[in-house]
Amino acid sequence: MSKVFRFPYTIGLYDTDAAGLIFSANIIRICHHAYEALLEEIGFGMARLFEQKTMGLPIVHVEADFVRPLTVGSKVEILARVAHLGRTSYRMTYELRDASDEVCATAATVHVCVDPRTRDPMSLPDEFRAALMKYA
C-alpha cells in the first residue's frame, strides 16, 4: 500500500526574494530536501548512491505552481509522492501545505535512471523500483 512521505520545512530568508516571498527557483531546491529524505528513508540515500555508483538519477523536467504566499518563517509540510513509475524514469510530486493544511505550492520533478559511466538511460533496478513503490 502506498503512502505519502511527509517532510517538515521552514521557509528561510535564503528561500525568498526582495519582495519577501518564496523565490520561484527555490521551490525545486526545497522539494529536493524532501526527495533526498525520502531516498534516505527507502535505503537509497545520496551517500549510498554516490558511493556505490550503480545509477544516476538526474532531473530532466521540473514544474511548479504557487497558490498562496510563503514568506520567511512559514512552516510547511512537504507531501511527496511517486506519481508515476516508468521503465527508466519516475515522476515525483510535491505539495507544500501550511499549518492550516492549505496547499501553498505544488511541484513535480521527473528523474531518469542513467548508467553513471555512460549517462545512457537504464532500467530502474528492481530493488530501487520496489523501494519507490512504498510511496507510489
CA distance 73 to 99: 12
pLDDT digits (tens, 9 = 90+) for 19-72: 999 999 999 999 999 999 999 999 999 999 889 899 999 999 999 999 999 999
Residues forming the active site: 17
CA distance 12 to 133: 32
pLDDT digits (tens, 9 = 90+) for 75-95: 999 999 999 999 999 999 999
Non-local CB neighbours of 29 within 8 Å, separated by 6+ positions: none
Domains for the chain: give ranges and CATH numbers. 5-135 (3.10.129.10)
DSSP, collapsed to helix, strand or coil, labels residue 35 as helix
